[in-house]
Every structure is written in structure tokens, then in C-alpha cells.
A and B are shown apart, each in its own frame.
Chain A
Amino acid sequence: MEAKEHYKANELTDLSKDTIDGEIATINFGPTHPSTHGIFQNVLQVDGEKIVSAEQTVGYIHRAFEKLAERRPYNQITPITDRLNYCSSPINNIGWEMTVEKLIGAEIPKRVQYMRVIIMELARIADHLICDSVIGVDAGALTSFFYPFTEREKIYELYEEICGARLTTNIGRIGGFERDFNETFHTKLKSFLKTFPPAFEEFNSMLERNRIFMDRTKGAGPISAERALNYSFTGPNLRAAGVDYDVRVAQPYSSYEDFDFNIPVGVNGDTYDRFMVRQEEIRQSMRIIQQAYSNLPEGPYKADLPEFFLPPKAEVYNQMEALIYHFKIIMGETHIPAGEVYHAVEGGNGELGYYLISDGGRNPYRLQFRRPCFIYYQAYPEMIKGMTISDAVLTLSSMNVIAGELDA
């Protein structure tokens, strides 16, 4: 592989040597090591700086999401999904809402779908910005953490206008949004669309073609497409290995088929490719937002779902029917069909799936989250074998392992 050759060229010691001559030391990365950006543990066996083998321990913030979801009515699960991949909570929220909508067979207006696309792509930008800035920090370019975070604040402001929270958004409801885009949101979004690209390109130019950064990241933690598929990789990490699989294209949801965007792919599946794929995805997300926003259809911001979407407050006070629905929805007494649904969205880290089994009761009978982080993180020891400690750190940050999603 090309990546390996590149790596060798940069290496003084011969990596192909299989026998280990030195003593093997064990070092613990984590649970609170600065490189983990979350809580999980990597036990590395190292020979000098070279990693001989690695083993991970996860579960340090296991919060029993799936059990919790079995004890909460459908509308109360949205806040729980917030905390899966907390860098891009709206994607999780909306993915869950779409799962329930699929279960109940709801018809969602085009406007809601477009609004969702805008919000989800904003969330994707926020997610990738964190990951890429953290790659920069781990590579030692500390300033690259601050520029993207200033941009993230603007995305937070946008969230705040719609749902009233910054990070754990609890955005949207089953059947639509809690409120329409307001004037402030429109102004802020327009200014974001204008100011974000130059700021982003500036951040990009600090790292993208910087030789120190390229040397650090090229060849660090590569994985081939075959291995990645075998490990059930999805998302940017898989695309970095050269596979153009994207749920948004393969199985479009929420009108993604209407938009024109590219799927960025890498070549070697190494850290540089992962970084570049994420950077390009941010640009593509901007394209999608622009398309969705300029074609935003007129119409209601919610579906006609009296059984699930709360009626307007004014009606609750005045109309008997609305009051009954209000109580039914809050108490979780509405009719929910029994059945099982799998719905997948393209989350920040890959295919985020919701496998929902309903027995018609108030709460889901079983809700399983397909958490991309959890699945691809197991390939980590294989990816860093033979690399140095510095590579291991960069590989970890470029894989974007989010502890909330990892441990659920």
C-alpha cells in the first residue's frame, strides 16, 4: 500500500521487523488521558515508541440508553437521543422522530423535510468541525481548535433560535418542529451562509497543505476498504478508505434525493484522508443547506398528526377535542401500531440506525441504537499496530470516537 511506503520513508526504524528486540512496556491511555476526548481506555503495549498491540476498555460512561428507552414514552425519548452523539444532537433527534413517523406511517410535508435537512446539515458541520479541530489540537496546532469553535457558536445560536438550547437540542417533535423558523433565524442563517465559508477555508488552509501536518497524518492509522467493511465501518471513516457509501444517497430520507452533492472519498483510509473527507463534507453540507434554503417550500412546519403532534395551546383551552388529544399525547395513551422498524440516518459518524420494536404499548418494547462509533472503534488496535504513540493519538482523534455514542 502506498500509505505504508510513505510511512516507511518517514521512519528511522524498520517497521517490517517482526521480532521485538527491546523490552515491552505497557502504557495506559485513559480513562482520562487528554487524547481520548471522552472516557475510554487504551492499553498499549509498546516497544520504544512503536505499538506492538493495543486493547481497549469501554463502558466508562455506559448510561443504559436502551433500557431507559424501554421505560419512557416515545416523545420523551428525543431528549435521550440528544446524548448519543452529542456533537450533532439534532441528527439523532430527527433520526428518532423519523423512525417513529415511519412506524406510525406519517406523511411529512415537504417544508418540514427541508427544514430538517437544513438543521441536520448544520449539525453535521458542527460535528465535523469538532473532529477536525481536535485533530489539529492533537497534532499540536492548538489554535486550530479556536477558529472552528467560534464558527460552531454561530451554529449553536441557530439551534437556540429554533429549539432554545445549544447542545442537547431536543429539536423537533414527532411530525415536525415545535415552531417555524423565525425572523432571527433567517437573518442569522443568511449571515452564517455568507461568513462561514471564508472562515472555514482559513482554518482549512492552516492545516491542509502544511507539510508538518501532512507528514504527521499521512500514513497514520490506515485501514483498507476491505478491512473497513469487514469491521462494519460507516460514515467518514469508511469513505476515507475509498468506499462511497452514504445513507443519504443509498437510502434517501427526508428528501435528500432532491439535493445535488458529492460524496468525498479518500484513498488510503489514513488520518489525513479522514481529515480531508470531513473537510470536504463540510463544504458539501454547505451546498446542501444552500440548496435546501433557497428552495424552502411554503407550508406548515408540522405534519397533520393529531394523535402525535400536540395541538396549539390556544385550541387546548378552547376545544374539547384538542384538550383530549393533549392529555392523550402527554400521558402516552395514543394508539401506536405494533411492529418493528429499522431506520437509518447518516449521522456525524456514519450510519446511525434505530431498530425499534413496538408492541403497541406506551413505551417502545425494544429500541436498539446502531451506534457507528461503537462499531468502528473496535478496529482501532488493528489500525495502530506498528505505528508510534503519536500516530495512535492522531488516529484516535481522527476516528472521532464520541464517548456518548460509544457507550450509550
Chain B
Amino acid sequence: MDTALLIEKFSLVIIVFLISLGIAAYSTYFERKLAAWIQDRIGPDRAGPFGLLQPIADGVKMFMKEDFIPKNSDKWLFIIGPGISMFTALITSTIIPWGPPIEIFGRQISLQIADFNIGVLFIFGVVSIGVYGIMIGGWASNNKYSLFGAIRASSQMISYELAMGISLITIILLTGSLSLTDIVKSQHGMNWNIFYQPVCFLIFFICSLAETNRAPFDLAECESELVGGYHTEYSSMKLGLFLFAEYVSMFISSALMAILFFGGYNFPGMDYFDGNTLAILGVLAFFTKTFLFIFVFMWIRWTIPRFRFDQLMHLGWKTLIPAAIINMLITAIVIAFNKGWF
């Protein structure tokens, strides 16, 4: 194996890992600030300038807090739960194409840890493991609120994954590939999928909200009903992992939306640039889009009320899945017409 490739990939892994964590940490800060602004407040401003050290303070505090395991809980599962959540949230970042290839020391480096040719399937595979973290954690806590949260989370994820998957088939039909790299490449310039598939985007967006357990689908942990939901019994860094995983997966979902529908690192007028300039601008474009989605996620959370559990199921099974299927059929027919199959 090529040592240079190993080093390259290893440093990329570290960088992506750190960036994901950093963005997740600062998402918490940004969420608090945004919530405050929406609510006519100013938000955290004591820890460091403008409260910028707030996430670090939170992290340190959680690290130093007493870590205990309830007596009647299943000890190992209790520990594994948050681990799975965090692991699955982070592992998705491996196949995200962060930008166009960059050239360092004469090497062409692709800004993607691994380019699977089944990237989309990989994401679905990993995300569906993610629910186990919540489920195991909630079940192991031996607390009824946790159990309710876990059950809600798992049934919600299963239902919404279906609609999400079906809606994505249209994108795969359009591109003709399961690889994220190909999907991004096919959206060169302003040739973004959103212009062809707005309905599909809407479905995907709603499902992402549900998949990441964000409002208005935050039933698994809704404070007013289930106290803390699946993490009621968790304290210290285990709780931190759960909370972190939520933000990481929000980041990844936003990145996915940028890739699938908004052209990833493509931006209008990209043909005028090449080489490393293009790479840097591409990365910037990608992150701008991602942050925009993170902002929308938060904006929604602080605006609208949440669903009731049965209404959530109702929306998932009776509205989103049929809509996704119809959308898929129409797209398939249109594509077939264009290719002259009929």
C-alpha cells in the first residue's frame, strides 16, 4: 500500500473528524444564540467574547461531572448506547465529498475520505444503525420515559427512512449512479437537482428533520412530555455524546442536502477557476450551503410546534411515502420518455 496515500487519508480522517466535531460543538453555540435572537434575547455572552467559549465550558463541565450508571440499568448497553449514536453520526462523514480535488505537493488529493460507488446506500445503512444507539440507550436506562423515547425514536426513524429512501430514488434516476461523487459531478455549475426535483427535496428535507430528531419531530426527547426522553437517565459525557451526536447528524444531514440537491461544492461560475482556487472556493461554497441548512434546521425548531406521535406517523405513512412514490413514478416516466424508451 502506498504510504503517501495512507498519510493522506489518515490526515483527512483526522481533519474531517475534527471539523465535524468542531462544527457540532459550535452548532450548539449557534443554536443558543439563534434561539436567543429569535426570542429577542442576546444569548450566552459571559464565557469568553460574545460567549464564544460556551461550548468548551459545556464540554469541560460534562467531562468533569460525576458519571454514574443507574443501579437497575443494563450496564454495558447503557454505555454502548451513546457510543453507537456518536459513531454512526460521525461515520457518515467519510463519504461526503467536501470539495473538488486539491493539489498539495504535486499530489492530487480528493477531498473525500472514501468514494464508495454505493454511497447513498451506505448512508442509509449507517443511519439506520444510528437508531440503535437511541434505542439501546433508552432501553438500558430502565426508565419509562426513556423507554417511551426509545420506542418513539425507533418507530419514527423506520417510518421516515422509507419515505426518504423512495424520494432519493428519483435523484439516483436522474444521475444514474449511487456514488455521491457522481451525483455532485452531475450538478456542475448551476445544474442543481433542486430545480428538477423540488418535491423530492421537500420530502427529503422533512425526513431529515425526522431522522435527526429535530423539531417538529423531536418526539423522542420532547421535554414537556418525556422529561428527557431517551437520555433521561444519562449524565456527564454520555449525555454529551447523545447531544453531540444530534448536532453531528444535523451537520451531516445538511451536508447531504447540499450535495444531493444544491450541487455540493458546485457553484455558478466555477468554470472560470481551476486548480486549488477552485478547490478552496468549492469547499467554501459547500460549507456555505451546509451552514444555510443548519440555520434553517434551527430556525424551524424555534418557530413551530411539534407533532403528536400518531400525527407524525400519519404524515410519514399517508402523506410522505405516497408523495415520494408518485414523484418517483413521474420522474421515471419522464426520464423514460426523454430517452425514448416508449
Do A and B contact each other directly (Cβ–Cβ < 8 Å)?
yes
Q: Report which A residues bind B (CB closer than 8 A).
A: 10-13, 25-27, 33-35, 49, 136-143, 146-147, 150, 206-207, 210, 212-213, 215-216, 388-391, 393, 397
How many angstroms between the C-alpha atoms of A313 and B309 in the bound complex? 63
CB atoms of A210 and B144 under 8 A apart = no
Chain B contacts of A140 at CB under 8 A?
Answer: 215-216, 218, 222, 224, 304-306
CB atoms of A388 and B309 under 8 A apart = yes
How many angstroms between the C-alpha atoms of A12 and B307 in the bound complex? 14
Chain A contacts of B218 at CB under 8 A?
Answer: 140
Q: Which residue of A lies closest to B302 (CB)?
A: A143
A25-B144, A34-B223, A390-B225 are known contacts. Are A142 and B309 too (CB-CB below 8 A)? no
How many angstroms between the C-alpha atoms of A294 and B51 in the bound complex? 47
How many angstroms between the C-alpha atoms of A272 and B304 in the bound complex? 16
Measured CB to CB, the closest approach of chain A to B319, in angstroms, equals: 12
CB atoms of B148 and A389 under 8 A apart = yes
CB atoms of A143 and B39 under 8 A apart = yes
Interface 1/0s, chain B 309-340, versus A by CB < 8 A?
Answer: 11101100000000000000000000000000
CB atoms of A12 and B310 under 8 A apart = yes
Q: Report which B residues bind A (CB closer than 8 A).
A: 35, 38-41, 144-145, 148, 215-216, 218, 222-227, 302-311, 313-314
Measured CB to CB, the closest approach of chain B to A227, in angstroms, equals: 23
A49-B309, A146-B41 are known contacts. Are A212 and B216 too (CB-CB below 8 A)? yes
The 7 closest A-B pairs by CB, nearest first: A140-B306, A146-B39, A139-B305, A141-B305, A138-B224, A140-B305, A390-B308
Main DSSP-derived SS at the A contact region = helix
How many angstroms between the C-alpha atoms of A146 and B38 in the bound complex? 9
Chain B contacts of A391 at CB under 8 A?
Answer: 308
How many angstroms between the C-alpha atoms of A130 and B169 in the bound complex? 47
Tally the A-B contacts, defined by beta carbons under 8 Å: 87
How many angstroms between the C-alpha atoms of A46 and B112 in the bound complex? 49
How many angstroms between the C-alpha atoms of A193 and B310 in the bound complex? 42
Chain B contacts of A215 at CB under 8 A?
Answer: 307-308, 311
Between A and B, 16 residue pairs with Cβ closer than 8 Å are A13-B310, A25-B144, A26-B144, A27-B144, A27-B145, A34-B223, A34-B227, A140-B215, A143-B303, A146-B40, A146-B41, A150-B40, A210-B305, A212-B304, A212-B305, A215-B311
CB atoms of A34 and B224 under 8 A apart = yes
Measured CB to CB, the closest approach of chain B to A5, in angstroms, equals: 15
How many angstroms between the C-alpha atoms of A215 and B306 in the bound complex? 10
CB atoms of B308 and A210 under 8 A apart = no
Chain A contacts of B309 at CB under 8 A?
Answer: 49, 388, 390
How many angstroms between the C-alpha atoms of A12 and B144 in the bound complex? 23
CB atoms of A216 and B145 under 8 A apart = no
CB atoms of B144 and A35 under 8 A apart = no
Chain B contacts of A207 at CB under 8 A?
Answer: 305
How many angstroms between the C-alpha atoms of A215 and B41 in the bound complex? 30
Chain B contacts of A26 at CB under 8 A?
Answer: 144
A25-B144, A35-B225, A389-B148 are known contacts. Are A139 and B306 too (CB-CB below 8 A)? yes
Q: Which residue of B lies closest to A390 (CB)?
A: B308
Measured CB to CB, the closest approach of chain A to B325, in angstroms, equals: 20
